[in-house]
Amino acid sequence: MDLKICWLYHDIMDLYGDKGNMLVLRKRCEDRGIQVIIDTLSIGQECDLSSYDILFLGGGADKEQMILISDLLARKDNIQKAMEEGSFVLLICGGYQLFGQYYINAHHEKIEGLKFFDYYTDTGENGRRCIGDIAISCDLDGNTYTVVGFENHGGQTKNVNSTLGKVLHGFGNSFEGKQEGFYNGKVLATYMHGPLLPKNPEIADFVIYKGLKKRNPNIRLQDLQPLDDTLELKAKQAMLKRLNILK
């Protein structure tokens, strides 16, 4: 088997170590003998996104989002085609915001989104931000996970009709909502940086599995060869104890 990944705007949207997510996907595929190709896409480059199994768009500050938004909006039809044909989409922070209706940034400028989903993002009042370690409980296609990460965002994402998970510690989509991210079976979007996947090998494998399903529709999550995640899981347990979620 092989897996094709496209990292959108790798040179612009790489806040808080999002490159680590790509490194983890590559390593976990290689350890299983899965051939993985990770291509990058920047402003003005030609690319058929529907030819990829996974699309990844990481986080970026307001300035970076303003720089790339025209190019991103021009790719809307191609991204829609990719999703319709089974490409799995992973979005972090700014990438999450841009797939919604709009984002009101810290300067109260409105950045139009791709409008694939009903959610929208306002800016926090008086410069308030959601900052700190975060842990959530989520159900992904019947699989229950506890996920840890780090969040740092002023944006308050609202009207999310299909959330990724319930907040156990931290903020999530907004100050009071106690819900985090977005998941609809085809798109996993989250505010969790850190980066996300090194801290959560189960989520990394879930993303790999969803990507493989595009061209291997009968594959099951349990078909992935188990890897030794002892160190990763110890690190996660240490964080969960620090957050008083594990005793």
CB 89 within 8 A of CB 55: yes
Each residue's pLDDT tens digit in the chain (247 positions)? 999 999 999 999 987 788 999 999 999 999 999 999 999 999 999 999 999 999 999 988 888 888 999 999 999 999 999 999 999 999 999 999 999 999 998 888 899 999 999 999 999 887 889 999 999 999 999 999 999 999 999 999 999 999 999 999 999 999 988 999 999 999 999 999 889 999 999 999 999 999 999 999 999 999 999 999 999 999 999 999 999 998 7
From the list 173, 171, 153, the residue with the least C-alpha distance to 162 is 173
> Which one of 6, 10, 29, 93 is the catalytic residue?
93
From the list 123, 150, 134, the residue with the least C-alpha distance to 62 is 123
Architecture in CATH for domain 2-242: 3-Layer(aba) Sandwich (3.40)
Residue 129 is assigned to a ligand binding site: yes
Known catalytic membership, residue 193: yes
Known catalytic membership, residue 169: no
